[in-house]
Structure 1
Amino acid sequence: MTTSTYRRSPARRPWVRILLTGLALWLLTVAVTFLTGNPNLIPTLVLLGSFLVPVTFVVWAFERRDTGELTPTLVFSTFLTGGVLGVLGASVLESYLLRPSPWLFAGVGLIEEAVKLLALAVLTRHLAVKSVRDGMILGAAVGFGFAAFESAGYAFTALFTVKGLSLMQLVQTEVLRGLLAPVGHGLWTAILGGVLFSASTRDHFLVTGRLVLAYLGVSALHALWDSMHSIALVVTLLLTSTPGQLDLLSQGWMPEPSPAQLQSFTILYWAGLALVAVVGLAWLFGLWRLSHRPSRTPPAWRIPTGSPPLR
């Protein structure tokens, strides 16, 4: 069997095995938890559901690495440590710097993308070779780590309702966040990682104008994603609002959509998320295609003694 045939075989792709095995285990855990009502299974349910998609995409990205600098240990530590540092840093900064305002989600985007970028730079500062594609993969690892821990928190919180514990709400939260994970934190930080590594030297990361613009652009995508519920609601009310809803809007209140407006709101909400995702994916793919693989010429210290000079 040739190498190309081996790589094209889905059964031999690690990310496929991880996804299918993890999904089967998660579904089994859901079924057993509902059947037995055993609360000891809730941590297993939360962790499997929150980490399955992020881990799968990190493994998928690792298979497309550029250089030998990217080892499984480095990617795993970047995923785990970067994710935890990002979640902790964002939590502290958002608690002290943000207050309820129309610009709340803009602040969230700026803070969370900054802490993920900083975590990526700290964890990868000693890499000898910094290729754009490796930067995108390591950025995705940090972003997906952040997403996994954040999703675990949201899933755990969704368990508690005014009517008691709700396993159904927990499962629904994990399914929704799992489906949206590929176009969230991992995507945004992958873009930043590629731009960061594109302007880097062997020993230093450089803060360039391009990196600043990429950071602001990714933060804007993040803010739009988080605020899409409010944006869709405002647009729906502006197009189809009743006099009573207009009065509430004029007083600074945000009324909920009526049953007649719910369909329009839902369409606008998902269309807005899809637009943000398409912009992010187009940016990522463009950066990937424009990046070039590093030269495979061995460094001088690896050239055997007596070899002719490289020309």
Structure 2
Amino acid sequence: MNCPQCVYSNPEGVKFCLSCGEKFIKGNSQEEDNSFFYEFAHYVDMVPKLEQSVEPKIQNIFSRVFRNHSELEAERLFIVGTALTTPKISEVKSTWPKPWLFARVFIISLLAFVGLHIGFSYFSNINFIPGLIIVGAFAVPLTTLIFFWEMNAPQNIAFYRIIFVVFIGGIVSLLVALVFFDILKNIINPITIGIAEELAKAITVISFVKYRKYRYILNGLLIGAAVGAGFAAFETAGYALRALLSGDTQNLYTTILWRGILAPGGHVAWAGLTGAAFCRVQGDQPFNLNMLFRVKFLRVFILVVLMHALWDTPITGMFPYGHIFLMITSWIVVFLLIRAGLKEISEKIELQRDGARGF
């Protein structure tokens, strides 16, 4: 079954191309699908087949979330990033990726959390508490991370590497932040908290990407999101445990709920923005400390610190409306950097083609 769009050779029985996601045609009409969401997604997905635009089309980005996807499609996603499965830059598509796996991860996490909640709340079995806290803390950060992983168009980072960064990067960034807090213990306020935590994550992210193996903007976005996801999840687990030890079970659920709702626009997005900004500055060049003082990096990092400081500022009415506004702001910048990352790939593809032609 060769895909008519990308000519990828698919195994028999799949409904969508495992490479580009194109829905296969049977006879002269598409397979019947009574899903309203599929029809809507298909309608907004009608873009020219040869289009190479990287302009944002938000409705198209999420158009495959409600489609049916086989296990083979998910399995193919999880094998990218190895020496054998990383595509050449000339084979990478510079159009906006259309992620869908993140939604399945969220549903699975939600079902697991509900099961753990039933075990603890209705059967009063305390053995479910550790799982309840862990799943509740990791569910949304991990879901957001999977979204960034699917948006990594170069497909050059293996998933096992991402898990490594989540755990090691999350722990290291927390420890570095504690060092900064100890230094700044006499002047703790929202600004110093923002500086300490964002600087700690920035140092950790840069330590993972500075050796140029991950040199694309989208790579920095993903590695940063992995560090931020670990930071956010471990921090949430700590706050949830404190709530539990205080004897207030309702506060435990409230902590997990609100930190989960706000997680996509917090540590995950902020660290992702820092990583993307650094990779945008570094490019193919060797690491140099002067890179940290370039305008393209500083303006993003300062913005992240300011958003973090506002997030922690005890302004009346800040929660939750102010946090929601900051979430939206964070994701506007995220999509701007995703677009910059796709343009970067498009330019590299063109340079390689020009080189092949002898220009």
Structure 1 residue 31: deviation in Å?
Answer: 1.2
Matched, 1:274 2:324: yes
CA 1:38–1:287 in 2, change beyond 3 Å: closer, same or farther? same
CA 1:167–1:271: 2 relative to 1, 3 Å: closer
Cα deviations across residues 202-222 of structure 1 (Å, max 9, x unaligned)? 332522233123222210100
Alpha-carbon distance in 2 for matches of 1:84, 1:273: 25
Partner of 1:191: 273
Q: C-alpha distance in 2, partners of 1:98/1:160? A: 25
Which one of 60, 67, 71 corresponds to residue 154 of structure 2?
A: 67
- 1:204 — aligned with what? 287
Indicate the residue corresponding to 2:145 in structure 1: 58
- Residues 212, 28 of structure 1: CA spacing in aligned structure 2 closer, same or farther, 3 A cutoff? same
- Name 2:203's counterpart in structure 1: 118
Partners of 1:286 and 1:47 in 2: how far apart? 32
Q: Tell whether 2:169 aligns with 1:82.
A: yes
Deviation, 1:309, is 6.4
Equivalent of 2:334 in 274, 284, 289: 284
Report the counterpart of residue 255 of structure 1 in structure 2.
none
Corresponding residue for residue 26 of structure 1 = 113
Distance 1:47 1:140 in 2: 19
Distance in 1, matches of 2:257 and 2:124, equals 20
Give the structure with higher Rg (CA): 1
Deviation at 1:134, TM superposition (A): 1.9
Contact 2:214 2:220 survives alignment (8 Å): no
Mapped contact 1:54–1:181 kept (Cα < 8 A): yes
Are positions 1:8 and 2:92 aligned together?
no
Match for residue 148 of structure 1? Answer: 233
> Which residue identity does 1:214 align to in structure 2?
V
Contact 1:61 1:137 in 2 (8 A): yes
5 Å matches for 1:219-258? 219-227=305-313, 230-232=314-316
Cα contact 1:110–1:219 (8 A) shared by 2: yes
Task: Give the alignment of 1:86-105 within 5 angstroms.
Answer: 86-99=173-186, 104-105=189-190
- How much has 1:155 moved relative to structure 2? 0.6
Return the letter of the residue paired with 1:172: T
Supply the distance in 1 between the matched residues of 2:103 and 2:65 (Cα, whole angstroms). 10
CA RMSD of superposed structures (Å): 2.5
Alignment coverage as a number of residue pairs: 264
1:218 equivalenced with 2:274 (yes/no): no
- Please tell me whether the aligned partners of residues 69 and 128 of structure 1 are also in contact (alpha carbons under 8 angstroms): no
CA distance in 2 between partners of 1:73 and 1:310 (Å): 39
**Separation in structure 1 between the aligned mates of residue 163 and residue 237 of structure 2, nearest angstrom:** 18
